Amino acid sequence: MLNGSKTNITVLGGGFGGLEAAFYLRMKLEDRANITLVSDRDYFLFKPNTIYIPFGLDPDKLKVGLQRPTRRKNIAFVEDRAREIDPDARTVSTEGGRKIPHDFLVVATGADMRPEEVPGLKENAQTIWTPREMLRLRLALYDLIEAARRGEHKRVLFLVAPNNKCAGPLYELVFMLDTHLRRKKVRANVDLTWSTYEQTYIQAFGPRLHEVVTGEFERRVVAGHTEYAAEKVESGEVHYTNGETLPYDLLITFSPYVAEVDYPTLPGDDRGFVETELGTRQVVGHPDVYAVGDAGNFPVKQAFLAFLQADAAAEHISSRVLGVEPELAFEPTSMCVMEQFDKATFAQVPLRLTGVPERPIEVDPDAPEAYKVGSYPAWRLGKKMLAYYLPFRFGLGNPFHAGVPWKGMEAGLKAMSGLLAK
């Protein structure tokens, strides 16, 4: 212990995983630990709702300042960029020249995009990742609608690139764009085409989501293509490894994933994602270092999974500090609500690692009762509730996925999914 009898815990990253871990640790350990949060920006970004930016949402509405909640919970907030971890010396070096010591470390610095993996993608496509890219897409959609209003015929091609680890948001965007164009009365002048490297639509979430997407593509007249892995992109057309070529006037893509920060002193896969023990999120070979959320090597990258991982890591650390058994471990059940503007699709998906590199994840066949899917307009309300609940919890310095309010949310979701999903 570095400071008297208190345990020193450092959390890297002020996103879903980092904040959930820091606030959960404070809730569990009360004043038994010094907690430091290091983040390269002074706000949390509610990334899932950046899908609304191309359709007019102000990006500032998705930010939660970090000063107030960290002060409230007596968490030292350091605005700086983590650069290197020395697991033996138990320190983190930052770009600002700090050396921050710890007893336990939680790495939650998230993921980044590498469009350069597909030649021509970066130069020719609208990419979705940051609010800035979403604003750029807003301008492109504005131009598209103006051209369609003038009577021009336009082709929009969507592309999930190989090694993308969270295809869901691009599926949301194709459905949302279809509804939006219909409402603007220009859908007849715009062809929508979908292409993905996946073998089935939203492959990680199994056959039920594939069925939903297939039905939606039919209803919305979207031409869909699976097993189309992009090989190179040229102005006006995409070439795929299966020999096919698809034309476009506007190309919208979700790029290959890599880790936001590569930590050479920690074991990582070929994309820099930190190797972890599944249940505890401990980094392999470094039991006092944990990795949660997009930064870790779990093959699906999702905010809800980041919460579950952060809770598991924080529970494990606090149980070690308190000398008790942990009450929970990471059990990968994904939960999401996919926006479509005219309705939304709820999915709860129990996942299982397969150990097969080409298809690392599958729906857990031993938990069929937990696999639930439903598409109704009422699910849009679920998405809206989350948009209020999450900033409310984080704004007060409380974990999202714990405590009495979550029990209430969970009960609400259970009731809704009992009626509106099967």
Ligand X SMILES: Cc1cc2nc3c(=O)[nH]c(=O)nc-3n(C[C@H](O)[C@H](O)[C@H](O)COP(=O)(O)OP(=O)(O)OC[C@H]3O[C@@H](n4cnc5c(N)ncnc54)[C@H](O)[C@@H]3O)c2cc1C
**Member of 54, 69, 87, 110 binding ligand X (CB under 6 A):** 110
Residue selected from 145, 222, 295, 361 as contacting ligand X according to rule CB under 6 A: 295
Q: How far apart are CA 181 and CA 286, in angstroms?
A: 51
Please state whether beta strands 104-107 and 7-12 pair in parallel, antiparallel, or not at all (unpaired).
parallel
Binding track, positions 320-349, relative to ligand X; x by CB under 6 A: ----------------x-------------
With both helix axes pointing from N to C terminus, report the angle between 168-183 and 206-220 in degrees, rounded to the nearest 10: 20
Task: Determine the interface stretch with ligand X among 36-44, 224-232, 234-242, 324-332 (rule: CB under 6 A).
Answer: 36-44
Residue nearest to ligand X (CB): 15
**How far apart, in Å, do the first and last CA atoms of the chain sit?**
50
Tokens 């939660």 identify what position? 64
Q: What is the Cα 127 distance to its own chain's centre?
A: 15
Of 35-43, 185-193, 199-207, 313-321: span binding ligand X (CB under 6 A): 35-43
Nearest distance in Å: CB 261, ligand X: 5
Residue choice 260, 311, 315, 364 for contact with ligand X (CB under 6 A): 260
Q: List the x/- string, 2-21, binding to ligand X by CB under 6 A.
A: ----------xxxxxxx---
The DSSP 8-state label assigned to residue 360 in this structure reads -
* The two three-digit tokens of residue 180, written as one number: 């939006």
Q: Is 55 in the site for ligand X (CB under 6 A)?
A: no
Number of neighbouring beta carbons within 10 Å of residue 389 = 16
Binding mask 63-82 for ligand X (x = CB under 6 A): ------------------xx
265: how many CB neighbours lie within 10 A of its CB?
Answer: 13
Q: Does 115 bind ligand X (CB under 6 A)?
A: no
- What one-character-per-residue DSSP string does 213-235 give? HHHHHHHHTEEEESS--EEEEET
Neighbour count for residue 82 (Cβ, 10 Å): 25
Residues that bind ligand X (CB under 6 A): 12-18, 38-41, 47-48, 50-51, 81-82, 108-110, 128-129, 166, 168-169, 260-261, 293-295, 301-304, 306, 336
